[in-house]
Structure 1
Amino acid sequence: MSQRFRAIQRILGVIIVLSSLTKLPPAFLALVWNEEGTAHVFFGSFLASGFLGLLLWAPVRHVNYDLRLRDGFLIVTLTWVFASLVSALPFVHGPPHLSYTDAIFEATSGLTTTGATVIVGLDDLPQSVQFYRQLLQFLGGMGIVILAVAILPMLKIGGTQLFRAESTGPTKDTKLTPRIAETAKALWGVYFGLTVLCALAFWFGGMTLFEAICHAMSTVSTGGFSTYDAAFGYWDSPILEWTAVVFMLLGGVNFGLHFVAWRRASMAVYSTDSELRSFLRIVAVASVLVALMIWVGGDYLHFADAFRYATFQIVSSITTTGFAVSGFDQWSGAAPLLVVGVAFIGGCSGSTVGGLKVARVVMVVRQGYREIKQLVHPKAQFLMKMGGRRVSESVVLSVSGFIAIWMLCFVALMLAMNLTGLDIESSFGGAVATLTNLGPGLGDVASNFAGVNDGAVWLGTLGMILGRLEVFSLLVLLTPQFWRE
């Protein structure tokens, strides 16, 4: 084995050991709460996954090799895969006693902050298991922020890093540098602080402390797991729903902006970000449109109620959080399709959100408009600008290529799900739910994946990882050139 792969093995060993630590908090909580049949499962899973990690790490612990950019693709992909595999153990050997297929889907959904679930009867699960699901989303959300802000820009995925107004991560180094650690610490502080504020707001809004902490972890991470099957419908509280809307939006904003705003003690940085302005405009327009559709369609008697539920569902979908209003898939007219459709756009780059990202969508729309103007004035030169700055043609091509590949992956995933036996609506909903990291879909997967065949569940697992890794990180591993030394 080459030094390169031995170094990667060492990192994966450390990742698996760190993943094993996620079993300890719920294990100790199970002891405190005197739960039967859960503490030993978490401790056993901790020992098994920790031993596996040490087994990988020990033989290569002294390897000294400078990892290059292309190694980052393999590391980030294998990190999500291995972390999902070892995180699935408690779901198999303890409540709710899932099959390996379903358990890996559930763990992957948590770590990728998708929020899709195969579990029905969340209300009856032991509290330690409920907490473990939320903890996976909390840690996954932090991992995604670091991936999006610190690592993916170095790998030059999709071109978004080249037109960010504020760059917080390293972008010019040719090898992985300690600056990633510095960036990660800063982002961790911002992310943790927002989660604490969210938990306090939920607690004051009427949740118990346990419920508040659990839902804060899945709201700021834009994950969408809940401790109840009805999610926020369990409380039916406007205060809690509007609080969730605020923190889902904050989770959908570039965490680099949050950090700069905190460091400068100024809110001005938010008003200067063109991507954020576009994001908020899309949210506002879509919320009003859906509210009008479901009010006129008679789903709600009062416009205030229609606007409340429409805004909650649109924000939940565009931030790919996935909290769902009960029966949203049965709303009048095109409302359900619009709700699911905004998940394609997603939130801001550098956030915990899935989807294509607002910056890329805005750029492609402007590029399309530029092509139309070019047809009218063939000899004229039209510049592409984002945030008042000129964007190079290479970035435009990079973003256009990313969206084209992403859409091809979506079509392939939808067709594959249809071949497993899902109907067209469910196949479309399942592909949207997993590739955008949204969670709820349409048809049979509108609320959960419990009744879906194993083939579609495995495809959903692949879709979640593919979407979370921005497609290119995984696809580049399929090229022969990548594996040549």
Structure 2
Amino acid sequence: MQFKVIQRILGLLLMVFSFTMLPPILVGKLMGDPELSNFWISFLCILLLGAVLWLPVHRVHSNLRLRDGYLIAVLFWFGLSAAATLPLLLSDSLRLSVTDAFFETVSGFTTTGATVITSLDGLPRSINFYRLELHWLGGMGIIVLAVAILPMLGIGGMQLYRAETPGPIKDANLTPRITETAKLLWYIYLVMTVVCTIAFALAGMSWFDAVCHAFSTLSTGGFSTHDANFAYFDSPVLDYIASLFMFLAAINFTLHFAVWRARSLLLYLHDSEFRAYLGILAAVTLIIMGVLFHFQTYPTLEGAFRHALFHATSIMTSTGLTIADHSVWPGLLPVLLVFSSCIGGCAGSTGGGIKVIRFLLLMKQGAREIRLLSHPSAHVKVKVNGEPVEERVTTAVWGFFAVYIAVYGIFLLGVVANGHDQATAFSAVAATLNNMGVGLGEVSASFSVLDDFSKWWLSLAMLMGRLELFTVLVLFSPAFWQL
């Protein structure tokens, strides 16, 4: 393990991150916020901490190995979440405990969107902007952003990209060089954010709200600048715009690039994961619409469809924006939405959950096993996009699913053992481990009602979900630390 190289990278990345304190300062000055010293102090402290780590080892040059990349990803996400608490801890208007501040920043960076802050409408604009900025930075992974600058340091970045890229197939590249790949992903992400911002503004949002909610939508985050969340705007047009961009944000970004390069929207339909994603989302939307209309929760078909589409898209993509309290919807709907969040978005997107491609492979493998029961001698291949899937990939998917269930159970038991009811515990773990952010029961409105232990416990769930379990769990393997 090359600890000096790891220290050098972490120090530099912290110094880079310190400059993200400056946009909230600019917003605060433009909006007339009375307190900005918390951001100035945070900027200087994080910059100094990064420099202290970087300077003693800044002349150390060596190529990263794969396990170095995993360790950097984990240390950086945990360390960055801790450093990012400073502006919240120093804010006189918030007065958060260390526990609440850490939970909020972890939720922001992991694009979970579970919040412990109340009275959002009365917060300084700089604080609200900062919360949403954390979403946007976390959306595509701040590690990927850092990969674009690592070559300038003489350090290869493929290991970091592999550690951070979501989904079961981590070796597929958009371009031959990892630097160009990282930059390309951010260009796509940036363009989509700008387009979403303009669409929100044209549909009636203030520019401040448009920027903040574009950050939340494209990162599939879920934070809002209002206590009523997206329902604050009470606009069908905005609901449909948000649904569209949440849907796009949960599609594999490599597929977006392929469509842009080929100038053909038909490429979306040629992708097996996209078709499965579209089919599952359509089915969930239609079920919700039918139940809502049947029980006259919304008396018009358009109202039932709009609420069904928005919430199905928001929850399945792990965004977590809401235009109604779906926890009081009739029948099976709240639980159906929780289960859809477990499936999540596509691999290579900003969505959470186990990812559609894994779910698709699980279903195909299950169908294969059922067929083999009837025809034991048959040679049945699991295929995606018309190509056979290697046995090691299907094995890895089953391994991930088994670990996911085990980890879910452990976190569930931890919350229940701490005195919370089963519905609250079940949905809180789903909301955090899937990086979705919306719960049922006690946490249907806010996670502020939870005790400190549960907040720390669920903060760990958010980080593990964001890093897709194995990236964290591999650190506990003795073989990982062998020289």
* TM-score between both structures, scaled by the size of structure 2: 0.94
Q: Which residue of 2 aligns with 1:176?
A: none
Offset, 1:352 = 0.3
Aligned ranges 1:202-281 → 2 under 5 Å: 202-281=200-279
Q: Which residue of 2 aligns with 1:56?
A: 53
What code does the residue aligned with 1:285 have? A
Q: Which residue of 1 aligns with 2:71?
A: 74
Q: Which residue of 2 aligns with 1:470?
A: 468
Counterpart Cα distance in 1 of 2:310 and 2:279: 15
Q: Which residue of 2 aligns with 1:111?
A: 109
1:168 aligns with 2:174: yes
Counterpart Cα distance in 2 of 1:418 and 1:65: 47
Runs of 4+ in 1 over 4 A off after TM superposition: 147-153, 155-159
Q: Any idea what the Cα deviations from partners look like across 1:344-363, whole Å, max 9, x if unmatched?
A: 00011000001000000010
Counterpart Cα distance in 2 of 1:41 and 1:113: 23
1:139 aligns with one of 137, 140, 162: 137
Offset, 1:393 = 1.1
2:445 aligns with one of 439, 444, 447: 447
Aligned residues of 2:164 and 2:467 also touching (Cα < 8 A): no
Q: Which residue of 1 aligns with 2:337?
A: 339
What code does the residue aligned with 1:429 have? S
Q: Any idea what the Cα deviations from partners look like across 1:404-431, whole Å, max 9, x if unmatched?
A: 1011111111111111221111100110
Offset, 1:295 = 1.8
Q: State which drifts further: 315-324 or 135-144.
A: 135-144
Aligned ranges 1:342-421 → 2 under 5 Å: 342-421=340-419
Offset, 1:311 = 0.9
Shift in CA distance, 287/150, structure 1 to aligned 2, threshold 3 Å: farther
What code does the residue aligned with 2:169 have? Q
Q: Which runs of 5+ in 1 are unaligned?
A: 171-178
Counterpart Cα distance in 1 of 2:95 and 2:235: 32
SS state of the match for residue 428, structure 1? helix
Aligned ranges 1:93-104 → 2 under 5 Å: 93-94=90-91, 95-104=93-102
1:320 aligns with one of 318, 339, 359: 318
Aligned residues of 1:295 and 1:303 also touching (Cα < 8 A): yes
Aligned residues of 2:285 and 2:308 also touching (Cα < 8 A): yes
Offset, 1:436 = 0.1
Q: Which residue of 1 aligns with 2:84?
A: 87
Counterpart Cα distance in 2 of 1:58 and 1:17: 11
Aligned residues of 2:222 and 2:320 also touching (Cα < 8 A): yes
Offset, 1:260 = 2.1
Q: Which residue of 2 aligns with 1:189?
A: 187
Counterpart Cα distance in 2 of 1:119 and 1:145: 27
Offset, 1:150 = 6.7
Counterpart Cα distance in 2 of 1:309 and 1:213: 23
What code does the residue aligned with 1:445 have? V
Counterpart Cα distance in 2 of 1:158 and 1:212: 28
SS state of the match for residue 169, structure 2? helix
Shift in CA distance, 412/364, structure 1 to aligned 2, threshold 3 Å: same
Offset, 1:64 = 1.2
SS state of the match for residue 161, structure 1? coil
Aligned residues of 2:72 and 2:160 also touching (Cα < 8 A): no
SS state of the match for residue 140, structure 2? helix
Q: Which residue of 2 aligns with 1:290?
A: 288
Counterpart Cα distance in 1 of 2:221 and 2:158: 20
Aligned residues of 1:159 and 1:398 also touching (Cα < 8 A): no
Shift in CA distance, 154/142, structure 1 to aligned 2, threshold 3 Å: closer
What code does the residue aligned with 2:461 have? G
Q: Any idea what the Cα deviations from partners look like across 1:322-375, whole Å, max 9, x if unmatched?
A: 002332101000011111210000011000001000000010011111111111
Counterpart Cα distance in 2 of 1:181 and 1:238: 40
Q: State which drifts further: 206-215 or 148-157.
A: 148-157
SS state of the match for residue 399, structure 1? helix
SS state of the match for residue 377, structure 2? coil
Aligned residues of 1:144 and 1:352 also touching (Cα < 8 A): no
What code does the residue aligned with 1:423 have? D
SS state of the match for residue 29, structure 1? helix
Cα-Cα RMSD: 2.0
Shift in CA distance, 144/272, structure 1 to aligned 2, threshold 3 Å: farther
Offset, 1:296 = 1.5
Offset, 1:155 = 5.3
Counterpart Cα distance in 1 of 2:159 and 2:332: 38
Offset, 1:180 = 2.1
1:306 aligns with 2:314: no
What code does the residue aligned with 1:93 have? L
Aligned residues of 2:68 and 2:159 also touching (Cα < 8 A): no
Q: Which residue of 2 aligns with 1:174?
A: none
Shift in CA distance, 169/151, structure 1 to aligned 2, threshold 3 Å: farther
Aligned residues of 1:16 and 1:83 also touching (Cα < 8 A): yes
What code does the residue aligned with 2:399 have? G
2:42 aligns with one of 30, 41, 45: 45
* TM-score between both structures, scaled by the size of structure 1: 0.94
Aligned residues of 1:151 and 1:180 also touching (Cα < 8 A): no
Offset, 1:70 = 1.3
Aligned residues of 1:320 and 1:346 also touching (Cα < 8 A): yes
Aligned residues of 2:84 and 2:105 also touching (Cα < 8 A): yes
> How many corresponding residue pairs?
472
Q: Which runs of 5+ in 2 are unaligned?
A: 148-156
Offset, 1:33 = 2.9
Aligned residues of 2:140 and 2:349 also touching (Cα < 8 A): no
Q: Any idea what the Cα deviations from partners look like across 1:10-41, whole Å, max 9, x if unmatched?
A: 1111121122111111112223333212x111
Counterpart Cα distance in 1 of 2:165 and 2:406: 17
Counterpart Cα distance in 1 of 2:406 and 2:412: 10
